[in-house]
Amino acid sequence: MFRSCALGDFVVSLPLLRSLDDPLVVARGEHLELARAAGLLRPDQSVDADGPGVHPLYGERPDPRRQAPELGRRLARGEDSLLVAGRGPGGERLAANLRDLGARSVRRVDPRPPPGVHAADHLHAAADSDSAPAVPRMTLDPGRGRRLLKNAGVSEPELAVALHPGAGSPAKRWPVERWGELCGRLGRPVALVEGPADAEPVRAFPPGRAAGVLRDLPLVDLGCALSACSALLGHDSGVAHLAAALGTPVLALFGPSDPLRWAPRGPEVRVLRSEDPAGLDALRVEEVETAARGLLRSAAGR
């Protein structure tokens, strides 16, 4: 299976991955490390999409000797290939090369689900599986996560709420000052999540409202920390998908994107969507507080 994508897209691919018999997954290295740490893949079932043994497959007449060894062995055996990729010249070239190198068949799946179909169900159907809904699941070490939270300054990690104020675009973000007001009202220790693209909202977060910052952690460490938190508050983002897959209760605020297709899936996920033309700016602190408190009460009663 070839799947080089963002974090949330990889997480919604997990039901598909689980349904494949002894797969070889070509994906971003940090996503493969996450899947291996969760026991979803063995080392011999993963190949880094950015590694030297994969790049030649996108060129003309690739030399079989330059392939990643395990990928070469699989192709030599005539195994099937599944490409989760949109239409484009790079994907077309890759598909043609895989056929030339021995793949018995090459199936392509558009990663974008049709209207009204969740992305996880759409991808899961590529394995000819009719079970729905497809729910991503993974397990990491919450004990390691509690240690990471304490190292970040969160003295009571068992009560901590993780807050991810970032998202893929400004239109997907609730105003950071309202997140700060909400955290003051909840009265819980807050661990801010800061990834590579989140410096701006974290820097703007009201001083004194967060106990610590989980800054630029490797995905496995971030996943461990999220699994130790009582909840995650955030947006339509890969971090929300990761937390939900780990079983952490999630409140995700949605603006322009469609939660029917892209909402995180897990045992306790709530989505609050603004359909106002003003987008997420229209959501009041009181609305989000009500939803967050309801989530925390429900999670405490499980």
Assess whether 62 and 207 both reside in one domain: no
pTM of the predicted structure, to 2 decimals: 0.95
| Position 133 in a domain | no
Assess whether 232 and 272 both reside in one domain: yes
Assess whether 85 and 174 both reside in one domain: no
| Position 34 in a domain | yes
| Position 135 in a domain | no
| Position 190 in a domain | yes
DSSP reduced 3-state for 2: strand
| Position 106 in a domain | yes
| Position 132 in a domain | no
Assess whether 200 and 276 both reside in one domain: yes
CATH number, position 287: 3.40.50.2000
Assess whether 149 and 11 both reside in one domain: no
Task: In whole angstroms, give the CA distance from residue 22 to residue 75.
Answer: 14
Domain count, the chain: 2
Assess whether 292 and 155 both reside in one domain: yes
| Position 134 in a domain | no
Assess whether 119 and 195 both reside in one domain: no
- 259 and 271 Cβ atoms separated by less than 8 Å: yes
Strand order in the sheet with 231-235: 212-215, 190-194, 161-163, 231-235, 250-254, 269-273
Q: For position 94, what pLDDT does the model report?
A: 92
Assess whether 93 and 180 both reside in one domain: no
pLDDT in tens, the chain (302 residues): 898 889 999 999 999 999 999 999 999 999 999 999 999 999 999 999 999 899 888 888 888 888 899 999 999 999 999 989 877 778 889 999 999 999 999 999 999 999 999 999 999 998 876 667 899 999 999 999 999 999 999 989 989 999 999 998 889 999 999 999 999 999 999 999 999 989 999 999 999 899 999 999 999 999 999 999 999 999 999 999 999 999 999 999 999 899 999 999 999 999 999 988 888 999 999 999 999 999 999 887 65
Assess whether 167 and 87 both reside in one domain: no
Q: For position 256, what pLDDT does the model report?
A: 85
Q: For position 8, what pLDDT does the model report?
A: 95
**Residue that finishes a domain, picked among 99, 127, 155:** 127
Assess whether 21 and 84 both reside in one domain: yes
Assess whether 156 and 272 both reside in one domain: yes
Assess whether 112 and 153 both reside in one domain: no
**Residue that finishes a domain, picked among 66, 99, 127:** 127
88-118 b/e with 16+ CB inside 10 Å = b? eeebeebbebbeebbbeebebbebebeeeeb
- 49 and 75 Cβ atoms separated by less than 8 Å: no
Show the domain range for 208.
142-300
Q: For position 276, what pLDDT does the model report?
A: 87
| Position 136 in a domain | no
Q: For position 302, what pLDDT does the model report?
A: 59
**Residue that finishes a domain, picked among 127, 161, 196:** 127
